[in-house]
Structure 1
Amino acid sequence: GNELTGAQVIVVLNKDEPDRLVGMRIGHAGGLAVGYGADAMYLASDLPAIVGKVDQVVYLEHREVATITRTGVKYGKLDGTSLEKTPLTVTQDPAAAAKGPYRHFMLKEIMEQPETLVSALRDRVDFQAMQVTLPDFLLSAKEATELERVVVIGMGTSYHSAQVGRTMIERLARLPVEVENAAEFRYRDPVLNASTLVVSVAQSGETVDTLVAMAEAKRRKARLITVCNVPGAEATRIAEYTIQINAGPEIAVASTKTLVGSMVCLFLLALMLGQLRGTVNSGERRRLIEELASLPESLGGVLANGPAYEELARRYAHHDHFFVLGRGITYPIAMEGALKLKEISYIHAEGYQAGEMKHGPIALIDKEMPVIAIVLKDRLYDKMMSNIEEVRARDGQVLAIATLGDEAIHEKARDVLFVPAVSELLSPILAVAPLQLLAYHIAVRRGCDVDQPRNLAKTVTVE
């Protein structure tokens, strides 16, 4: 065992001892969970695989070994020393991992997003005092004031959430924020110190690139917070402080409700830092928290228009190429919309900053290249209207995601999906829902495997 290096999870079965399994974990290769059932023991990559079968779980750390039989488990280290570990109680409801009346888990999880918002806000916002109250928060007012910068890291959909979080933190906490792809961050020899706050965004909390980046940040004495959905995941054990997304199990490979949950958690973090640093006044804080309170209902309204998405899918599903355009805080949402079309519809889609179109990509625009444009009534509205006019002038078909009540958009776009008016900082939470539903219905119409797309895994535990 001491000769093993690298990052790996190994489970061994001896054919002469079929009732005995040995599992070990080395490095950040992904999770290995030991599940305690009523009359059986389990080894699994993570908790969702064994929810409903177990009532307690233990997660193995680096260079730890578990030997299980039907009736019990022994823990040790690779060097042969014994080890005691305390099981955690499993709180996930098995019914949450069932499809219920929905055709696919992805659709179920999209429709659960208003509930996800409520769960993320519960016990974290004082709606009487109109302030954010993250329990036992990592930083004091003095420590928050002494921060010099923030680095937010993630991969895939979590990276897009991190980019939204950058704007939120910069605007409310008045701190410079960098966003890093975790796989690149670890090789860049980043400049970090005790005045740097590193925030990791994770669905599973087991993505190897994110875990190694977090470990590097910790080694360099940066303060470390994770926004994570899976309780007890490796990311939560590396971080000093965890903001749990509380979205419940997400079964579909393509992340939906954990994105919305992570964005609202990052918003709460930004507002908390703003409160501690004195950079957000009470009037603005009150207005934003009032909007937070109505956000689940607003999102529910966006999700209720199912037939409209089915009709749009019928008209657009035959296209093999899309552009998705956004500006400012909606640019990461444009990239997320493009990612969803790629992931589940197998469509080549590119997310672009709308202002970048005329610097090359506009050469690809014709009537066979639909353009989805996020055109909300914010500070960049006039710029976006100009950008989609350029697309239309080149015979491009424009499908707009616009603010409810915007009549002018009908002159520019062939099709329009509306979302309620909301503050710019909260707009990504509403704007992403139409993109998720559109990608879902296009994928269904194209006959794709929505919940388990080809070549993809829910948790990426290899580099």
Structure 2
Amino acid sequence: MCGIIGYVGNKEAYSILLKGLEKLEYRGYDSAGICTASNNQLHLQKVKGRVAGLEQFTLPGTRGISHTRWATHGPPSDKNAHPFLDMANQFTVVHNGIIENYLELKEMLRQDGVQFSSDTDSEVIVHLLAKYYTGDVKEAVRQVVTMLHGAYAICVVHKDHNEIVGARNGSPLIVGVGEQENFLASDISAVVEHTRNVVYVNDFELVRITPLEVQVTGFDGLMKPLEISRVHWDVQQAQKQGYKHFMLKELHDQPAVVEEQLNVNFDIGFTPNSIHIVACGGAGFAGVLGEYVIEHIAKMPTRFYHGSEFRYRNPIVSSNDLVLVISQSGETADTLAAVRMAKEKGAHTLGIINVVGSTIARECHNVIYSRAGSEVSVASTKAFLAQIISMYQVAYHLAGSKFTFLGYKELIEHLLRLNDRIKELAQKYFLYPNFIYIGRNRNYAIAQEGALKLKEIAYIHAEAYHAGELKHGPLALVSEEMPTFAICPQDEFYAKTFSNIEEVKARSGKVITLATEGDENITKVSDDVIYIPKVDPMLYPLLETVPVHLFAYHIADLKECDIDKPRNLAKSVTVE
């Protein structure tokens, strides 16, 4: 979940590392730090809180490593911020991941007289390096990684060596290959303004970079061929371009996204007996929608699983099945574990991934790259929309045809013009502390997404329910103080959902309804209505996302929340 970047070259490292951290801050923002090396000395600066806290400082040196933290072991604080130094100030280390056996390692080191300065699991790494170093940094790293249990990407600098050594097992790490300079980083965004040539480091690999050289070896010490990829990245997409927040900007990117996504071609390669969809968070709600859509259109048994639960239930998966995984980052730890388990069971794997060259994309048998482009806001919007379009594309592909949606771009543009109307509703409702979201069948997936966004960015308790399940318990929550957001387009579930809304109104509940244009009856049971255009009933979820995202956005903005970087969250979840 943390972000790391290292630089070695002929330029001053501090400003390069600082800018790189700013690009990686979506991965965690509990604390940040930079360590540089010059004149056989290490220079360290760490702060609790955002990367911006480092802007007032500078450190000398043309090599260094840096880190932005999402706390797992120990609270956010200066002392728990990375990088860490050993007791002799020879080594500095940054780490992304979790060292599961750190307590045993810590006790062993304490018996050697090591004094620890933090509460973290990561600090054991730097002290182990000091213990096993005999003059060769890469060899010391190779010895230490054999002792670590868990997930990690690490970068290591020694004060006397003009190099950085990295290692990966379970957490992402890439090399940026430049001209007389090289980089190590958690992802491409941190280095793309300097180079578009990258090397994807795989699990159980070490990498050594100097200003002029990149070497990759296995944990067994054997050299690996250097495979340099050229990335195509629109740097402009990672700018706000005048919008108040990245989330709002990314919402307005969606007309272009849907146009690109509808043109994606792919071939799964075989016809499965059944389909298992695995994803986490918002991508999981795209998976829930996929479960309904694929079964309805392709007539194939389909089941959704949360990534964090899939491999712990010993799922019944055969070689004739398709395991379809969805991940914006392509690095989600639980989803990656599901891919590996599915392949062990002989199943075919397909990834719906936004980041080209990511670990899950490389490990799946087939991949569909969603065309959302760079997404900076932690709360996903345009990537989520691309994911749910992909669910329709998969469904129609399995049914032997191609998904089309004429005029879809223009419909998204129309929905974005509802911004002012939805902002007015947000002003009416932003002080309510609790919300219920309801929908049936396909619409339930969007109800889940709407509730998640309200929780994520506005810190409001919101729960989504199947509309028909209200009477089985959740109806007890309904009151004038707990509004219900109902998704009720004119589809085959309309009459039933309408009745569920009436049940809420009968108990004095306030109702906001997302409904089809021209539906006057819905106003009789709703306090407020957001209208969306009339389309084929199967397609309504593809329109519903924009209003629910805008509603959450404006409520969070009115509450003056940190919309792009909500508390306690990170965009790329690379730990279990």
Give distance in 2, aligned partners of 1:371 and 1:138. Answer: 40
Name the structure 2 match of 1:364.
477
Name the structure 1 match of 2:217.
76
Which is further off, 39-48 or 343-352?
39-48
Mapping 1:155-166, distance limit 5 Å = 155-166=280-291
Give distance in 2, aligned partners of 1:389 and 1:138. Answer: 44
Give distance in 2, aligned partners of 1:84 and 1:301. Answer: 51
Name the structure 2 match of 1:168.
293
Question: What's the offset of the Cα at 1:51?
Answer: 2.5
Name the structure 2 match of 1:307.
420
Pairwise CA RMSD:
1.3
Name the structure 1 match of 2:409.
296
Name the structure 2 match of 1:179.
304
Name the structure 2 match of 1:129.
none
Which is further off, 193-202 or 305-314?
305-314
Name the structure 2 match of 1:65.
206
Name the structure 2 match of 1:193.
318
Structure 2 gaps, min length 5: 1-141
Q: Secondary structure at the match of 1:293?
A: coil
Q: 1:393 aligns with which of 506, 514, 517?
A: 506
Question: What's the offset of the Cα at 1:21?
Answer: 1.1
Give distance in 2, aligned partners of 1:240 and 1:161. Answer: 21
Q: 2:344 aligns with which of 205, 215, 219?
A: 219
- 2:151 corresponds to 1:22: no
- 2:445 corresponds to 1:332: yes
Q: 1:412 aligns with which of 525, 534, 537?
A: 525
Structure 1 vs Structure 2: percent identity of aligned residues?
40
Give distance in 2, aligned partners of 1:371 and 1:53. Answer: 49
Q: 1:449 aligns with which of 556, 559, 562?
A: 562
Give distance in 2, aligned partners of 1:351 and 1:37. Answer: 48
Question: What's the offset of the Cα at 1:438?
Answer: 0.6
Count the aligned residue pairs.
432
Question: What's the offset of the Cα at 1:39?
Answer: 4.5
The C-alpha deviation readout for 1:83-105, integer Å capped at 9, x for no partner, is 11211112011111111021110
Q: Give the residue type in structure 1 aligned to 2:147.
A: E
Give distance in 2, aligned partners of 1:293 and 1:58. Answer: 40
Q: 1:431 aligns with which of 505, 528, 544?
A: 544
Q: 1:348 aligns with which of 461, 465, 469?
A: 461
Q: Secondary structure at the match of 1:299?
A: helix
**TM-score, normalised with respect to structure 1:** 0.91
Give distance in 2, aligned partners of 1:44 and 1:220. Answer: 33
- 2:140 corresponds to 1:10: no
Q: Give the residue type in structure 2 aligned to 1:430.
A: L
The C-alpha deviation readout for 1:218-252, integer Å capped at 9, x for no partner, is 11000110000000011111111111102110000
Question: What's the offset of the Cα at 1:297?
Answer: 1.1
CA contact (8 A) 1:51 1:93 kept: no
Give distance in 1, aligned partners of 2:394 and 2:174. Answer: 29
Name the structure 2 match of 1:86.
227
Give distance in 1, aligned partners of 2:520 and 2:560. Answer: 35
The C-alpha deviation readout for 1:261-292, integer Å capped at 9, x for no partner, is 011112111111100xxxx7xxxx7xx62xx1
Give distance in 2, aligned partners of 1:203 and 1:457. Answer: 13
Give distance in 1, aligned partners of 2:391 and 2:219. Answer: 38
Q: Give the residue type in structure 2 aligned to 1:244.
A: Y
RCO (CA 8 Å, sep 6+): is it higher in 1 or 2?
Answer: 1
Q: 1:109 aligns with which of 250, 271, 276?
A: 250
**TM-score, normalised with respect to structure 2:** 0.73
Give distance in 2, aligned partners of 1:440 and 1:212. Answer: 32
Inter-CA distance 425–39: structure 2 relative to 1 (3 Å threshold) = farther
Q: Secondary structure at the match of 1:179?
A: strand
Give distance in 1, aligned partners of 2:316 and 2:559. Answer: 46
CA contact (8 A) 1:54 1:90 kept: no
Which is further off, 31-40 or 148-157?
31-40
Moved over 6 A (4+): none
- 2:376 corresponds to 1:259: no
Question: What's the offset of the Cα at 1:48?
Answer: 2.1
Name the structure 2 match of 1:206.
331
Give distance in 2, aligned partners of 1:424 and 1:163. Answer: 17
Which is further off, 66-75 or 371-380?
66-75
- 2:184 corresponds to 1:43: yes
CA contact (8 A) 1:67 1:73 kept: yes
Give distance in 1, aligned partners of 2:191 and 2:466. Answer: 42
Structure 1 gaps, min length 5: 125-133
Name the structure 2 match of 1:377.
490
Q: Give the residue type in structure 2 aligned to 1:429.
A: L
Q: 2:268 aligns with which of 138, 143, 158?
A: 138
Give distance in 2, aligned partners of 1:101 and 1:388. Answer: 39
Give distance in 2, aligned partners of 1:342 and 1:22. Answer: 40
Give distance in 1, aligned partners of 2:453 and 2:264. Answer: 32
Question: What's the offset of the Cα at 1:364?
Answer: 1.0
CA contact (8 A) 2:285 2:448 kept: yes
CA contact (8 A) 2:435 2:484 kept: yes
Q: Give the residue type in structure 1 aligned to 2:540.
A: S
Q: Secondary structure at the match of 1:12?
A: strand
Give distance in 2, aligned partners of 1:404 and 1:85. Answer: 57
Question: What's the offset of the Cα at 1:3?
Answer: 3.2
Question: What's the offset of the Cα at 1:123?
Answer: 4.8
Name the structure 2 match of 1:127.
none
Give distance in 2, aligned partners of 1:251 and 1:50. Answer: 15
CA contact (8 A) 2:437 2:450 kept: yes
Which is further off, 416-425 or 366-375?
416-425
CA contact (8 A) 1:399 1:415 kept: yes
CA contact (8 A) 2:215 2:226 kept: no
Q: 1:228 aligns with which of 350, 353, 356?
A: 353
Q: Give the residue type in structure 2 aligned to 1:69.
A: T
Question: What's the offset of the Cα at 1:259?
Answer: 0.7
Give distance in 2, aligned partners of 1:262 and 1:39. Answer: 39
Give distance in 2, aligned partners of 1:309 and 1:71. Answer: 54
Give distance in 1, aligned partners of 2:512 and 2:287. Answer: 26
